[in-house]
Structure 1
Amino acid sequence: MEQSALKNYTKYVSLNILGMMGLSCYILADTFFVSMALGAAGLAALNFSIGIYSLVHGTGLMIGIGGATRYSILKSQNEGKQINAIFTTSLKLGILLGVLFAITGVLGSGSLAVLLGADAATLPLTKEYLSTILYFAPFFILNNIMLAFVRNDNNPKLSMIAMLTGSLSNIVLDYIFMFPLGMGMFGAAFATGLAPVISLVVLSAHFIQGKSGLRWLRSRVQWKAVRDILGLGLAAFITEVSSAIVLITFNLVILGLEGNLGVASYGIVANIALVGISVFTGIAQGIQPLISKAYGSGEGITIKKLLRYAVITSLALASAIYTLVFFCSDQMINVFNSEQNPAIALLARDGLRIYFAGFFFAGINIIVCMYLSAAERGLNAFIVSVARGCVVLVPMVLMLSRILGMTGVWLAFVVTEGLVSVLGLILVFWKKRTEFLHW
């Protein structure tokens, strides 16, 4: 059983880490090409916009992870009749919310850009990027839903291929649209928006080849199922949206401390951090179908093993990432600091070396959130997610920035993740009389 659990863990986690790293390159590629084409103003505008991208991405994750979690539990319990109802409801909900985001892009992108902190120098670029990304919101959301269901339908390899294909196409299209075609900020956003469309085309192979048991049902939306999906996926949403809250809060605080150059330096740190966080998200999404299946079958020992593997992997990768960032920070910054601005370079170097220390705790927190959701402990997962995204982080940023300036801003992430990891571990080991899992 030990060998089987480790084999499945290695397969699902490795594929998901690769896929999530590819997915994170959506924004990283934009950061590189925008910095080359538009300089510090473009970099700041992009950073103002990423929070909304995280909100859209998180909505897709919430529906996808929530629906796929219920799918795996029902499948392990041989509840075949409800599986396609969950799948169909997830898709309908994704389309509805995606259309609402798109309408927001048409009617309110300018007001949204101002609300996020854009000024006269960055407003046109921020508005252009935001409106384009929001037009493609239905595809971002549907892509995340399909990735989760295909992964949980015993095809993690195709999910990984779809994520990587979408990401690579984004990099290629970014270059083509921004340089040979000279499409500027719109080109960067358009390339990013086409990436999930291409990914969905790849995922369609799962259904065309007849490998899937998932079917679209012609039925009304089941609101009970909607509540179930959103409840199970809420932690994934909060985890992703916490990134948006972090970005918005940091942007506004840094704008007051260091102006647009400070925001540009944070843009470099935040976008490199996206790749690091994607590694931990890959671990968490990799264990989700395995934990949901084990939970539905009552296999507590298997869940313990999976969690142990995940935490060990997270700490090992956090050590490797921090070592790389500490010793190669200047080289990383130079890639995105196209104007070779010394102020941006100095701020970003300090930021990388302090901020990334939080990864030792962030990986554990992301894994804990996914475990609690997959084991139907949605309230506990919600508590951990909200603590990371709002309850602890925002006061820490405001307090530490007043005391220590920019150093305090960077430290806020580290302190928050450290405190939340203690809370998360307490919740994991907290025994409930109805809990089948004995530690």
Structure 2
Amino acid sequence: MLVQALYNVVDRIFLGAGVNQMSIGGVYLIFPIFLFLMAFGMLIGVGGNSLSSIKFGEGKKTESEIILGTSMVLSIIFGVLISGIFLLNLKWFLKIFGASDTLMPYAYDYGKIILYGAPFQMVGFAMNNFIRGEGNPRAAMVTMFIGAISNIILDYVFIFPMKMGVQGAAWATIIGQILSCIWVVRYFLSDRALLRLKKETFKLDLHYCKQIFALGSAPFAMQLVASGINIIFNNSLKIYGGDLATSSMSVIYSVSQIAFMPIFGINQGIQPILGFNFGAHKYRRVQHTLRIAVVAGTVYMVLNWAFTMLRPDLLVKIFISRPEDYAVIKDIAIPGLRIYNSMIFMLGYSIIGSSLFQAIGKPKIGFILTMTRQLIYLLPLMLIFPKLFGLTGVWSAMPVSDVLSTLTTTYFLVKSGFLVKTIHNDDEFVLGI
């Protein structure tokens, strides 16, 4: 997710400087496809990593390697299928996503190229979860930097000297994804990996497929629902604010992606630690890790919220650097950014806290939390608020949903026994859910 966020953010920064604000809006309309790809990447990557960490914590290395091989095969299959489905009728999908006649050329030129890289994105994203699961964050960081740095360099070359526009941004992204994918595969073929990718384990094990899908169902559902919500969001922007509102949302979402990168990094980094220690019945370590992560995430998000409220103009100018474009978009983007991110100070706690349940093999709880945040709360708000408050209602739906979802997460964390009461003895701990 971090890598994909970087790809999207970097593309928009260069497009805002080298093309115009409409190109940013067009690229944003491809985002439902990215979310769809990420949904299946998380289904396989998070589910496989969680299951593999638990098995490895139980001392079952061979089973962990079979899970690794199965996850690799699944990521290839889903990557090819998803790419083919969207490429068959991309313009039809883009109209559903809210593309206007003005934004359609930008969205189509970007999307038709990006989809060719979907299989590489899927493999790289899904398998990088296993690198983190081995407790090797440096190697996982290398994966991120290989793709991100190459994307930055190629974005500049393709957009400025070569004048390739949105197509240049798309090619830069694909090349970065291919390089990241190659790095991840080579890692698991090398002696550096605790779990090796072997010929005998590179197969589809249906028994483990079911368990992978169960453990990955919560983040999968979250991203799948997010894709649907994004489509509704885009169409509301088109109705109540037009193309400038869509381009503003591209900026707002890019700012949010930058803000959430450390939170997602903490979130994904602690999952193998939580899963391993839970599998080894070391519940005090689970609680200690969770508390440190929650405190760190909360402090960071409070600081981020304060800066967003005080100087939103500086954040908008990162993506809309051309003075003539900034003058046109600022009156929509700045108020929208303030409203949309008005409750992010509580999300460090909420996002990190909810990740506990998928890490310890409680996918049902994780699924419930996912559905309350992005479906039960956000969907009705997205349908009702714009009709009552217009464009302001579009921006306001997310922060209200954030408050309600945080309260729900708190209830389950307290009930689990990991949040409030300090665990003094592993043998006496009883999971409350």
TM-score for both structures, normalised by structure 2: 0.91
Structure 1 counterpart of 2:412, which letter?
L
For residue 28 of structure 1, what is the aligned residue in structure 2? 9
Is 2:218 the partner of 1:224?
no
Is 2:376 the partner of 1:394?
no
For residue 58 of structure 2, what is the aligned residue in structure 1? 77
Structure 1 residues 331 and 110: CA distance shift in structure 2, 3 A:
same
- Which of 317, 330, 351 is the matching residue for 2:300? 317
Pairwise CA RMSD: 2.1
Pairwise CA distance, 1:80: 2.3
Structure 2 counterpart of 1:129, which letter?
Y
Is 2:44 the partner of 1:63?
yes
For each residue in 1:196-239, what CA deviation from the matched residue of structure 2 results, as whole angstroms up to 9, or x when unmatched?
Answer: 21123333453454122323343652222111111111222233
For residue 430 of structure 2, what is the aligned residue in structure 1? 436
Point out where structure 1 has 5 or more consecutive residues left out of the alignment: 1-19
Structure 2 counterpart of 1:271, which letter?
S
Structure 2 counterpart of 1:154, which letter?
G
For each residue in 1:381-422, what CA deviation from the matched residue of structure 2 results, as whole angstroms up to 9, or x when unmatched?
Answer: 011112222221121122222222222222211110110111
Question: Per the alignment, in what secondary structure is the counterpart of residue 332 of structure 1?
Answer: helix
TM-score for both structures, normalised by structure 1: 0.90
After the TM superposition, which of the residue ranges 36-45 and 271-280 deviates more from structure 2? 36-45
Alignment of 1:329-348 (within 5 A): 329-337=312-320, 338=322, 339-348=324-333
- CA–CA distance in 1 between the matches of 2:186 and 2:116? 25
- CA–CA distance in 2 between the matches of 1:239 and 1:279? 19
For residue 281 of structure 1, what is the aligned residue in structure 2? 264
Alignment of 1:6-405 (within 5 A): 23-204=4-185, 206-207=187-188, 209-212=190-193, 213-218=195-200, 220-337=203-320, 338=322, 339-405=324-390
After the TM superposition, which of the residue ranges 191-200 and 234-243 deviates more from structure 2? 234-243
Q: Please say if residues 234 and 246 of structure 2, whose CA atoms lie closer than 8 Å, have aligned partners that are also in contact.
A: yes
For each residue in 1:126-167, what CA deviation from the matched residue of structure 2 results, as whole angstroms up to 9, or x when unmatched?
Answer: 122122222111111101122111111231111012102211
- Which of 393, 402, 408 is the matching residue for 2:393? 408
Between the two proteins, the alignment pairs up a number of residues equal to 419
Question: Per the alignment, in what secondary structure is the counterpart of residue 59 of structure 2?
Answer: coil
- CA–CA distance in 2 between the matches of 1:101 and 1:37? 31
After the TM superposition, which of the residue ranges 411-420 and 145-154 deviates more from structure 2? 145-154
Question: Per the alignment, in what secondary structure is the counterpart of residue 416 of structure 1?
Answer: helix
Point out where structure 2 has 5 or more consecutive residues left out of the alignment: 418-427
Q: What's the % identity of the aligned pairs? A: 26
Pairwise CA distance, 1:435: 8.2
After the TM superposition, which of the residue ranges 218-227 and 420-429 deviates more from structure 2? 218-227
Q: Please say if residues 214 and 363 of structure 2, whose CA atoms lie closer than 8 Å, have aligned partners that are also in contact.
A: yes
For residue 426 of structure 1, what is the aligned residue in structure 2? 411
Structure 1 counterpart of 2:372, which letter?
A
Question: Per the alignment, in what secondary structure is the counterpart of residue 288 of structure 1?
Answer: helix
